[in-house]
Structure 1
Amino acid sequence: MKAVVKKILNQPSFVGNPPVLVDLGASGYLPKHWNLIAPYSICVGFDADTREFSVSESEKKEWKKLYLINRLVADRESEEVDFYFTKSPYCSSSLRPNNMALQPWAFSSLFEIEKVDKLSSVLLLESLRKVGIDYIDWYKSDTQGADLRIFDSLPKVIKEKILLTEFEPGIIDAYFGEDKLHQLMAYMDVMPFWISGMDIKGSQRIDSLDLRNLGFLSQRSIGSFLKSAPGWCEISYINTMENEKLSRREWLLAWLFASIKQEHGFALYLARLGANKFDDDLFNELYAISSRSLSPGYVKYAARMMCKVAKRIRRSILRA
């Protein structure tokens, strides 16, 4: 895969316009699946909780360019916004945690407010422009309740050219006025994207008072004997590529992103249409790669079928 990544991203169209990957809520780490394309890409990561994200701007050798910006991104600019620092830095948000609604959940203590600070908020587009960027290829957002409103603040021309988006909206009431999963799905339903993945996450439904009354070991291991209920969702979308304004650059990058996400069926489709659309032999090479990626699946399926047939024959012989 490294060879084809190098071949694609060394194309002239990527020299002046490398892939741009944006991560809102980059506290902790950047996605591992970006490592493959990092040397050819520009990454811009934002987070407002300085306890986990102290570098305001940085460059690292594994990236073509890396910006780590300690700024609160919002759907509007403001000199002062209340920011709620919670017990877990991964739950800190510009939205106030709904502690009453969270009380029946095992992880409610993570949302306990430790302090409230006044932070200035910035628009995503303006922040990108300050570092010389005016487009996004891969968009990842985990803003603790504000995913949809920030995405909606982007101009339509930028949103519709994003090739892959990832969000982490809530299902239960965790913050006052938060963007929920059902709202995001309704919004994206009329956008040129299809859902490529949904991973439902959650916590155990047990009142915080009842949890505290359990023994220490029971509290620590609650997840091993009490099932989780849905609380939030990691959801990803891939561009349908129906926009006629998308260039050869975007089609090549869409194939690459789909392959990274192991959507080899869609990658096969993109390679086939790309070869016809651009009369480009490179897409024929990509088609062959996608075809080979699907072949192991058939081999495994055939092996399972042969095992089933062998078991039936064995049972028939034993009955006879």
Structure 2
Amino acid sequence: MFSFFKKKPKPEPEITPVIAPAAVSTPTPADAPSAAVVPNVAAPVPATPEPSQPAADSKRSWMARLKAGLSKTSSNLTLLFVGAKIDDDLYEELEAALLMADAGVDATQFLLDALKRKVKDEKLTEAAQVKAALRTLLTELLTPLQKPLELGRHQPLVMMIAGVNGAGKTTTIGKLAKHLHAYDQSVLLAAGDTFRAAAREQLTIWGERNNVTVISQESGDPAAVAFDAVHSAKARSVNVVMVDTAGRLPTQLHLMDELKKVKRVIGKGMHGAPHEVLLVIDGNTGQNALAQVKAFDDALQLTGLVITKLDGTAKGGVLAAIAKTRPVPVYFIGVGEKIEDLQPFNAEEFVNALLD
């Protein structure tokens, strides 16, 4: 069993954090590891579980929720191929459906051009064949976004979490902490969102649920909170640090500069950190999500994305726009509020949910 206290703690930094009660939980069978969190040789590797009916039921449940979340886009796309003729009208309707799904102009044109070539080269004559060809092309487009989150590369592994207000950033941090516990990873959270009311309290609640230490301040500089967290994690031999940050709109340049400062200060606390810079995106925001990816990537050099709220009115096509325009890896996607509603992004599963 891994312990927070392998090493004797070093003296605390000058700024005294408010720390929630710390404990280390041992994952239970219910805490099944996420396939997108892949430890390398430096991290403890859990035993491979035997296939079981509950695991199969869990996968079916996840696919059902994902398909339900993407049902709006799915129905618009799949109905096009029911009794359709392979002609210009079909391509025009497909173009409109992709644009309505927030796939964007570039990705839509790319898919249409590739589909027309495939239909011609392979002499496809049936609507079902064209649909299968679209499935293949869309999977190929999204597969480069599918990348595992590797653990154990650094001690600690420092993750900076960014996103606009309302994207589900703090909730996502809590869910990620649960996933990390499934890999025997001790976690420390930094409440760097010192601007939003109750943000610190919300993160502390997630910390208590997961038996995770939370470092925060009543008020003050978010960069100082992040710096404290990195030093505390090093002193406690914690595996992973996740730094929450205040929500920012890409147009608020002075506030984006504050995020850059937080990143610089984290680097002073540990050379090379943060090792992961994740952007949490609300899947309902459509093309605004692509604008957020561009702005935050330009400012922070993103290493990964988490797409939340892919349910209800979410259109899902924005992943195609991201893949074509700014292909930052998508580590996780979420379809609800529960812990199990955040799962690794799998391109084939995602496309099947869209086109089945």
- TM category (shorter chain) comes to 0.3 to 0.5
With a CA cutoff of 8 Å and minimum separation of 6, indicate the structure with the bigger relative contact order. Answer: 2
Higher helix fraction (1 or 2):
2
Higher strand fraction (1 or 2):
1
Provide the TM-score with structure 2 as the length reference: 0.31
Provide the TM-score with structure 1 as the length reference: 0.34
- Higher gyration radius (CA): 1
